Chain A
Amino acid sequence: MTTPNLRTEEQIIWCPGCGNFGILAALQNAILQLKLDPSQVVAVFGIGCHGHLANYLKINNFEGLHGRALPLAAGIKIANSKLRVLVMAGDGDQLSEGGNHLVHASRRNPDLTCLIHNNQLYSLTVGQASPTSDPGSKTRSTPRGVLDQALNPLALSLASGASFVARGFAGDIPQLTKILIQAISHPGFALVDILQPCPALNHVNTFAWFKERVYELGPEHDVRDKILAFQKAQEWGEKIPLGVFYRVEREILERQLLPDPEMILTDQSLEKKITNLFSEFQ
């Protein structure tokens, strides 16, 4: 069997040097290495620079609303649990507008893989502060520097009950590929925070800045230890850990919701006799 080419003919419109190129490459690698049937993969997007990715891969793509990709993806997955459903989100998208949905997806554990394309800015609207912008950083909406603490997507997701939490770096495609393969294979909600330099607008957190700081969690890191995962999630600044922070298996949302855990709802007939329901109303 020849390796299918997942790329569409569409011309990529991200800025030269954008971290999204690395994420696209790693995602493509992961889908190919996992030998997923592209017709059985659905990617649901929020709104942001990451959303352009919807035009570049020959899978099923749904560009939804800013912040709302997770519940849309959950509906698709519940309806047809055969599908592999990926969520692409931005930091402003998923952590600001969609923060509530991240908390609850982490808690409910639908079998979705959520990639946060985290460039610490609103870049599509040319550079306002996002929830992950470092305190003090000057942006178009914070000329005197960001006042707030940066939100920690890993710690938030862990605290909310996520069963898989990882961080990747758009500048290390092989490692990101490895992380995405594990995330997509994880049965349950997998959150992957991806450090994504924005060369056009973020002149602090650049590829070089990250390269000096990132390191990979070693084999000694116990992914079942939630306290350790929290501890590692707090590291930021001089040293920034990458890899799988936490992974456990627990009951999946749709398997509990479905009339039968194996049932594919979209395969069921619409015809239904309801006469037996009438007796309750007499």
Chain B
Amino acid sequence: MAKIDFTVKIAGRAGEGIAVAGLILGKTALRSGFFVFDTSEYPSLIRGGHNVSISRVSNEKTFSLLSGVDCLIALNGESLEQHYSELSSDGIAILNSDEVPGAQERVLNLPLSSLAKKEDLPAVTANNIALGALVFLLKGDPETLKGVVADVFSGSGSEAVEMNIRAIQLGYGFAQKNWPDLKPPFSLSKQKPLPQLFLTGNDALALGAVKAGCRFFSAYPMTPINSLLAFFAAKAKDLGIVFYQPEDEIAGINSALGAAHAGLRAMTATSGGGFSLMVETLGMAGMTETPLVIVEGQRPGPSSGLPTWTSQGDLKFVLSAGQDDFPRVVLAPGDAEECFWQTIDAFNLAEKYQLPVIVLVDKYLCESHASVAPFDESRAEIDRGLLVEGFLPDYQRYQLTSSGISPRAFPGQFGMNFSTSSYEHDALGLAREEAENRKSMMEKRAQKMKILQKETPSPQIFGSVRAKLGLVAWGSTKGQVLEAQKILKTKNIETKFLHVNFLQPFPTEQVKEFCQSCQKVVFVEQNSTGQLADLVQEKAGFEIKNRLLKFDGRPFFPEEIAEEVKKTA
């Protein structure tokens, strides 16, 4: 089978339906049997800014975007101007020619606005007119496209569905009539579809939380976790879950902690700024040993930073946030699939060890779609940890045990009552200041981490084990590094890649061993200092010199990683 691998960029003004056009294209490709990866770029504006959706379509499994554009849909002249230079040598551009017709080579003028007007369609259907034309050019199946449009607009009523399907037909018909002989070398022609899901990181986090039995989700709006919030807001009632939009992030984490204390699996989500507000309560989760899952979707800071762009700049922050020492777990899934499974792990670890678990993701992962094989949900296990099973006359919530884990009860359960305190407390949960008690309680809580450390899974290694050139990354840069490895391989550069998705407790021994087995190691991170590299220096005790860092808010492209790594090799 010939390799199919091309990138479509849809660009226009905010409010012109750029993201939804990307979603429609992605689902159409998925239902036509392809693998898809997409991402969107937009400024922190509702209308008027420049928005972009980029989709990579391939008949091989894809892990990220590549740089370069093969098909550009420019809904205005500015979009063509900005992105024309990105077109590959045999790429094509479809331009809304009503504003200014394009005179450049390989630009196809499509009068979107006047076509829409003539057919009495609102201007906002221009995106779908263009998609109709593109699907004709790429020999795609118009019926599959229409099916996707019907599904995507089903929530907006039958009129919206009908209008958008007419828009598709209009564009398809225009292309058929005007460009019958154009045959760009990129194909969307329908193949046997694979059973796949088209998920963003946020979708996968939500599905993981639902599967794990999460019954309470509170979140204050903040990019990039808004679609997670929207999922729960729309589905909570049907799923038997409560979604609560609090007055601020502090209320968000406190209400989640309250729900968890009462016996639910509870989660909150935010970005770095909101997490800053949550930190005092994070410490309370540590002190009161309350299981809690917190999603932190990073974006560039400091302060309000670049709200709608991506970053891995909060690693050190989440590892150490809060006054004094308390146990916590930090997970950093690398893709949608890991988002699903590690969210389930997060709930199990939180309850088993009675502590807060932070799931550290970022804008790029939260909002990029990837095609993923459906999850085998029978593999999901629920472990609630040590629970009291019946009435205990002298119940001690914080009983000292060799594991540091005390049996947990919920208020009102079995006719028992007990106390919990954010102050240092004794086994009964009553505030106590005695030195001896303080020491034993600190040690009790720390003991849980010692046991958890032994359970820390080994980070995954990709590529050739014998390679002498090592790459290390954490969280969402996984996909781009995997793609960079493929590129390097074509240039006969063998690499091995260690992906760290479990950051606290830290798999020190495995990371140390990996680094020592390489002649050269390059750390690839989306922050300005190399926060993981620093952490490895601290934990392993040797210097990490090679750091490939990007911190302009834009995700890495695999090509730039490959290029830089090649220089090191």
State whether the Cβ of B43 lies closer than 8 Å to any Cβ in chain A.
no
State whether the Cβ of B321 lies closer than 8 Å to any Cβ in chain A.
no
Q: Are A282 and B197 in contact, CB atoms less than 8 angstroms apart?
A: yes
Chain B residues 163-217 with CB under 8 Å of chain A are 196-199, 203, 207, 210-213, 215-216
B62 → A minimal CB distance (Å): 17
- Which residues does chain B contribute within 8 Å of A73, judged by CB atoms? 258
State whether the Cβ of A89 lies closer than 8 Å to any Cβ in chain B.
no
Q: Are A281 and B199 in contact, CB atoms less than 8 angstroms apart?
A: yes
Interface secondary structure of B, over-half rule: mixed
A 175-202 binary contact with B (CB < 8 Å = 1; else 0): 0000000000000000000000000000
State whether the Cβ of A141 lies closer than 8 Å to any Cβ in chain B.
no
Complex CA gap A101/B249 in Å reads 11
- Which residues does chain A contribute within 8 Å of B254, judged by CB atoms? 64-65, 68, 71-72, 75
When C-beta atoms are compared, the residue in chain A nearest to B415 turns out to be: A39
Complex CA gap A263/B284 in Å reads 28
- Which residues does chain A contribute within 8 Å of B412, judged by CB atoms? 39-40, 42, 60, 80, 82-83
Pick the contact of A281: B198, B243, B429 (CB < 8 A). B198
Contact A259 to B241, CB < 8 A, known contacts A55-B430, A72-B257, A79-B262: yes
When C-beta atoms are compared, the residue in chain B nearest to A254 turns out to be: B242
A109 → B minimal CB distance (Å): 14
- Which residues does chain A contribute within 8 Å of B211, judged by CB atoms? 272, 274
- What bracket does the count of chain A residues touching chain B fall in? 35 or more
Q: Are A63 and B418 in contact, CB atoms less than 8 angstroms apart?
A: no
Q: Identify which of B128-136, B263-271, B360-368 touches chain A.
A: B263-271
Complex CA gap A266/B241 in Å reads 11
Q: Are A266 and B264 in contact, CB atoms less than 8 angstroms apart?
A: yes
State whether the Cβ of A275 lies closer than 8 Å to any Cβ in chain B.
yes
Chain A residues 72-89 with CB under 8 Å of chain B are 72-80, 82-83
Q: Are A65 and B284 in contact, CB atoms less than 8 angstroms apart?
A: yes
Complex CA gap A82/B215 in Å reads 16
Q: Are A257 and B198 in contact, CB atoms less than 8 angstroms apart?
A: no
Complex CA gap A8/B73 in Å reads 73
Chain B residues 243-262 with CB under 8 Å of chain A are 243-244, 246-248, 250-252, 254-262
- Which residues does chain A contribute within 8 Å of B284, judged by CB atoms? 64-65
- Which residues does chain B contribute within 8 Å of A226, judged by CB atoms? none
- Which residues does chain A contribute within 8 Å of B430, judged by CB atoms? 10, 54-55
State whether the Cβ of B411 lies closer than 8 Å to any Cβ in chain A.
yes
Q: Are B281 and A65 in contact, CB atoms less than 8 angstroms apart?
A: yes
- Which residues does chain A contribute within 8 Å of B238, judged by CB atoms? 259
Q: Are B239 and A272 in contact, CB atoms less than 8 angstroms apart?
A: yes
State whether the Cβ of A174 lies closer than 8 Å to any Cβ in chain B.
no
State whether the Cβ of A37 lies closer than 8 Å to any Cβ in chain B.
yes
State whether the Cβ of A151 lies closer than 8 Å to any Cβ in chain B.
no
Contact A104 to B247, CB < 8 A, known contacts A60-B411, A62-B421, A74-B258: yes
Q: Are A61 and B415 in contact, CB atoms less than 8 angstroms apart?
A: no
Q: Are B250 and A68 in contact, CB atoms less than 8 angstroms apart?
A: yes
- Which residues does chain A contribute within 8 Å of B299, judged by CB atoms? none
Q: Are B422 and A61 in contact, CB atoms less than 8 angstroms apart?
A: no
Complex CA gap A40/B413 in Å reads 8
Q: Are B255 and A281 in contact, CB atoms less than 8 angstroms apart?
A: no
Complex CA gap A150/B116 in Å reads 62
Contact A277 to B261, CB < 8 A, known contacts A71-B254, A104-B251: no
Complex CA gap A134/B27 in Å reads 64
Q: Are B263 and A266 in contact, CB atoms less than 8 angstroms apart?
A: yes
Complex CA gap A281/B246 in Å reads 28
- Which residues does chain B contribute within 8 Å of A258, judged by CB atoms? 242
Q: Are B261 and A62 in contact, CB atoms less than 8 angstroms apart?
A: yes
Complex CA gap A77/B244 in Å reads 13
- Which residues does chain B contribute within 8 Å of A144, judged by CB atoms? none
Q: Are B197 and A76 in contact, CB atoms less than 8 angstroms apart?
A: no
State whether the Cβ of B396 lies closer than 8 Å to any Cβ in chain A.
no
Complex CA gap A273/B378 in Å reads 9
State whether the Cβ of B127 lies closer than 8 Å to any Cβ in chain A.
no
State whether the Cβ of A145 lies closer than 8 Å to any Cβ in chain B.
no
Q: Are B197 and A78 in contact, CB atoms less than 8 angstroms apart?
A: no
Complex CA gap A41/B262 in Å reads 12
Complex CA gap A75/B431 in Å reads 22
- Which residues does chain B contribute within 8 Å of A268, judged by CB atoms? 215, 240
20 further A-B contacts with Cβ under 8 Å, apart from A42-B412, A70-B251, A79-B262, are A39-B417, A42-B411, A62-B411, A62-B420, A65-B284, A71-B251, A71-B252, A72-B254, A74-B255, A75-B257, A75-B259, A76-B262, A83-B411, A265-B240, A266-B262, A275-B377, A281-B199, A282-B27, A282-B197, A282-B198
What are some 13 contacts across the A-B interface (CB < 8 A)? Answer: A55-B419, A59-B417, A60-B412, A61-B429, A62-B420, A68-B251, A72-B255, A75-B260, A79-B263, A80-B263, A100-B247, A259-B241, A271-B382
